[in-house]
Amino acid sequence: MKRFAILGYPLGHTLSPKLHRLLAEQLGEQIEYSICAIPPEELEEHFEELFCLDGFNITIPYKVRLMEQLDQLDTSARNHGAVNVVSIAADGKRCGYNTDCIGFVRTMQSHGVPIAGRVCVLGAGGVGRMFATECALRGCTVTLAVRAASMEAAEQVAAHIRSLDAQAKVEVMDIERLDGSQAYELMINATPVGMYPNVQHSPVDERALRSVKTLFDCIYNPGTTLLMQQAQQAGCQTIGGMEMLVWQAAAAQEIWFRRSFSDRQVAQVAAKM
């Protein structure tokens, strides 16, 4: 039986063990999946036990810190400057990947949404950086919309993207300026605004959604956020975050087991979460 884990701190009521067991069942595999909630000051003491696993997932605050402990980084990890999956080979070689971006792409594909044209990303934190980078490298015109206090961080994300592709089309704007006069094929909420228990909040005013074709909210609790409700009322196609959560985990198991998941299998797992 292969052994995996989720590394992060704090982890609270993480969905990872249930999610990965359900996915493994789809492949006919049995796994042992543990929770490694390790405080930052104790991380180095646990390297040996972590690297004795067959692989592990990584979440906040270790997505960047663990990179220096790995032998190889996949292109996805290098582009996004963060690792959320580690695969450990039989010879002990440690390879890091970023399957958040894969989860995003596969989710859009499953809904028939092209990652093209004008894209607005709300927020410039770690996940916002991933969305903006992935879209820009695919040729989209990307707008990072953030609060005034986050403008500097957003400019750093834009600079990172331009360092990967000097021709990348990316701009930064104050989120308060989103008034519906800007047309976007895709708007992505990469902020925690609207997440449980603060479900009565939305990161933008309703008018900002008037010229948006598809709204993707990466929040998965609740399944339908206030922002998604606003977007539906504005006539937008809406996609919630649970499917991306499942797809990024499925991508990890595709790496670990060298097997593939279908849209149907992922949908079945998402329905059980």
Q: Name 153's bridge partners.
A: none
d(C-alpha 86, C-alpha 88), whole Å: 7
- Catalytic (active site) residue 169: no
d(C-alpha 136, C-alpha 167), whole Å: 9
Q: What angle do CA 99, 70, 44 make, to 5 degrees?
A: 110
Q: Do the beta carbons of residue 224 and residue 233 sit within 8 Å?
A: no
Kindly write down the DSSP assignment for every residue of 144-194, as one continuous string: EEE-GGGHHHHHHHHHHHHHH-TT-EEEEEEGGG-SS-S-EEEEEE-S-TT
Q: Do the beta carbons of residue 153 and residue 124 sit within 8 Å?
A: yes
Tokens of 13: 């009521």
SS3 115: coil
Which of these is catalytic: 63, 93, 213, 272? 63
SS3 235: coil
Which residues are identified as catalytic?
Answer: 63
